[in-house]
Chain A
């Protein structure tokens, strides 16, 4: 199994631009999570899905952030418009059958907004 796949691995963009991060979970995993990690705030859960349905988006910082999961093998996290304070590493993770099992993380997308 290839594990959780994320793209791009790095992105540098200018303030105001739209950013789209992509994730492919491990095949057969029912849960998908989006996390953001910064030095100041550590690892924060943004949103998670169960069988493609968003369950808890209370971690999404503001309306500029949105996430979709159109099918079991693909999810996007979009930031529009992006701001410098959005600079962070964004991780996608998946777990097999519950939100409380071991989560397997993707390699992350390092985002820098100038």
Chain B
């Protein structure tokens, strides 16, 4: 079963719009949640979130985690065509899971048109 679910699957917006990408997960007591951006090539790291309610920002991108409701959102303001990519969410399982690696969602494909 899918433990990390991202929505929407795909999104098309105009330049300048603000978008919100969602990631919900079923992994309890997880250690962290990570966001990656994947353009044509490999995923690149964006954020690592460990604490609920604390927003992380990087330029026009920001992300926040809600451990109570088991979700995270990634916001992109004033979108640009260069933001077009697949955005992946991954969850780091709890310590007692052994050394299990990250569990990825299927991603949200964002297309920003001029």
Binding site for B on A (CB under 8 A): 4, 31, 33, 41-45, 48, 50, 55-56, 91, 93, 98-100, 102-108
Contact = CB atoms under 8 A, between A and B. Distances in A.
A102 B42 CA distance: 14
Interface in B40-62: 41-45, 48
Contact of B41 (A44, A50, A99, A107): A107
Given A107-B41, A108-B42, A43 B104 contact: yes
B42 A105 contact: yes
Interface centre among A91, A93, A102, A108 (most CB of B within 10 A): A102
Contacts of A104: 45
Interface of B: 31-32, 34, 41-45, 48, 88, 92-93, 99-102, 104-107
A44 B104 CA distance: 8
Nearest to A4: B42
A100 B43 contact: no
Contacts of A4: 42
9 contacts: A42-B106, A43-B106, A91-B43, A100-B93, A102-B34, A102-B48, A105-B44, A107-B41, A108-B41
A55 B101 CA distance: 10
Contacts of B99: 50, 55, 98-100
A29 B103 CA distance: 20
A41 B104 CA distance: 11
Shortest beta-carbon contacts, A-B, top 7: A42-B106, A105-B42, A99-B101, A43-B104, A100-B92, A99-B99, A107-B41
Contacts, number: 52
Interface centre among A4, A33, A55, A100 (most CB of B within 10 A): A100
A61 to B, nearest CB: 17
Nearest to A106: B42
B77 to A, nearest CB: 24
A43 B100 contact: no
Given A43-B106, A100-B99, 18 more contacts: A33-B101, A42-B107, A43-B43, A43-B104, A43-B107, A50-B99, A55-B99, A91-B42, A93-B42, A99-B100, A100-B93, A100-B100, A100-B101, A102-B45, A102-B48, A103-B101, A105-B44, A108-B42
